[in-house]
Structure formats: C-alpha cells, structure tokens
Amino acid sequence: MRTVVLGSCLLLAGLLASCTKDDAAGAARPPSELVTRLGALADDGCACKDAACAADVSKRLQQLADGTTHVDDRDRPALQETQARLDACLAELDPVIIAYRGLVDDVCACADKACGQRVSKRFSAWAADLEASGAALRPADAKAVMRAGIRAKGCLDRFGLPVPQ
C-alpha cells in the first residue's frame, strides 16, 4: 500500500512541478475537476476504518494520477493541501505506523525501568525491520512517527532511558 501511495504522490508531484500558467493568476474560479476528484478521494480516505479501504483509495489515487495529463498551475495549492490531508489520513491506517504507536503505548504503560528497556529493544527491532524492508516512510508517515516519538521520549525519560536509534 505504501509503495502505491508513494508512487502516486511522486507522480502527482511530478505533474504539479511541470505545470504551466495558462492565464493570469488570481482570478476566482470554481475548483477544477482534478481538485474536485482529489478532494473526493481525500474524503473517502479519511473515512476509511481499515487498511483494505485505504488500499482501495490508494489504487483510485493511482488511477487518477495515471489519467492526469495536465495540471493547471492555479490548482497546485489546493491539490497539495488536499494530498497532504489524504496522506495524513492514510498514515493513520498504515500497519507500520500502527505498530509504532503500539510500541509507544507499551513503553508508556511501563511501570519500571526493566519494562522500559524491553520495549526500547522492540523499538530498535521495529526500526531495523523498516530499514531491512527497504520501504521509505512517506512524509505523512514520518510526521506520524515523529509525533508518536515525542510521546515515547517522555515515557522513556521517566526511566532515564535514551531514545532508541
């Protein structure tokens, strides 16, 4: 799922970067069909409750990206904002992020340093597994990990433990 979404994001970013201005900017106009369609996908993605739904939205996003040949430069801000909203919602359903948040919950539930050390080792294993998979975190995934990591740091600090690397 992460690969499909990453590919779609890269393709859409490439299309956005190659935009050309067709006329004077600043004229108020209704959202383009592309903005509307991406907005509908973001709404669908943010309504998802499981990874299967997120995978379906990612597939439809890829189809939208594949079928897009031109992006009006005036649509760029709305598309980027909508894509960021969709990415954040899909990150919530990513098994890698869910696993990381589970580790954060576990370390914060620890009552003693020994427990914190055990969970700390699991953080290291999580990071090693991610690295070994060759998968890169999308920006929204990385933000989700950073937010959860701040909470984990506070819990590790209670026991004088370093943040796992």
Find out whether 110 and 155 touch, Cβ atoms under 8 Å: yes
C-alpha span between 26 and 66 (Å, rounded): 28
Q: What is the mean pLDDT of residues 7-15?
A: 48
Per domain, the residue ranges of the chain are 2-17+31-90, 95-157
Q: Is the pLDDT reported for residue 15 higher than 80?
A: no
Any residues with CB less than 8 A from the CB of 133 and at least 6 apart, and which? none
The predicted structure's pLDDT at residue 25: 54
Cα-based angle 112, 113, 117 (whole degrees, multiple of 5):
125
C-alpha span between 83 and 87 (Å, rounded): 6
Q: Tell me, yes or no, if the pTM score tops 0.75.
A: no
For the purposes of burial, counting CB atoms within 10 Å of the CB of 24, is it exposed (0-12), middle (13-18) or buried (19 or more)?
exposed
Q: Is residue 26 very low, low, confident or very high in pLDDT (cuts 50, 70, 90)? A: low
End-to-end CA, the chain: 26
DSSP state letter for 165: -
pLDDT, mean over the chain:
86
Q: Is the pLDDT reported for residue 17 higher than 70?
A: no
Q: What is the mean pLDDT of residues 59-75?
A: 93
Q: What is the mean pLDDT of residues 86-115?
A: 94
The predicted structure's pLDDT at residue 27: 58
Q: Is the pLDDT reported for residue 3 higher than 50?
A: no
Q: From residue 123, how far is each of 53, 92, 105, 158 by CA, in Å?
A: 28, 19, 12, 17
Q: What is the mean pLDDT of residues 53-66?
A: 94
Q: Tell me which of 12 and 34 has the higher pLDDT.
A: 34
Which stretch of 10-24, 63-77, 131-145 has the lowest confidence by average pLDDT?
Answer: 10-24
Any residues with CB less than 8 A from the CB of 111 and at least 6 apart, and which? none
* DSSP per position, 38-56: HHHHHHHHHH--SHHHHHH
Q: What is the mean pLDDT of residues 95-101?
A: 93
Q: Tell me which of 140 and 117 has the higher pLDDT.
A: 117
Find out whether 16 and 34 touch, Cβ atoms under 8 Å: no
Q: Is the pLDDT reported for residue 119 higher than 60?
A: yes
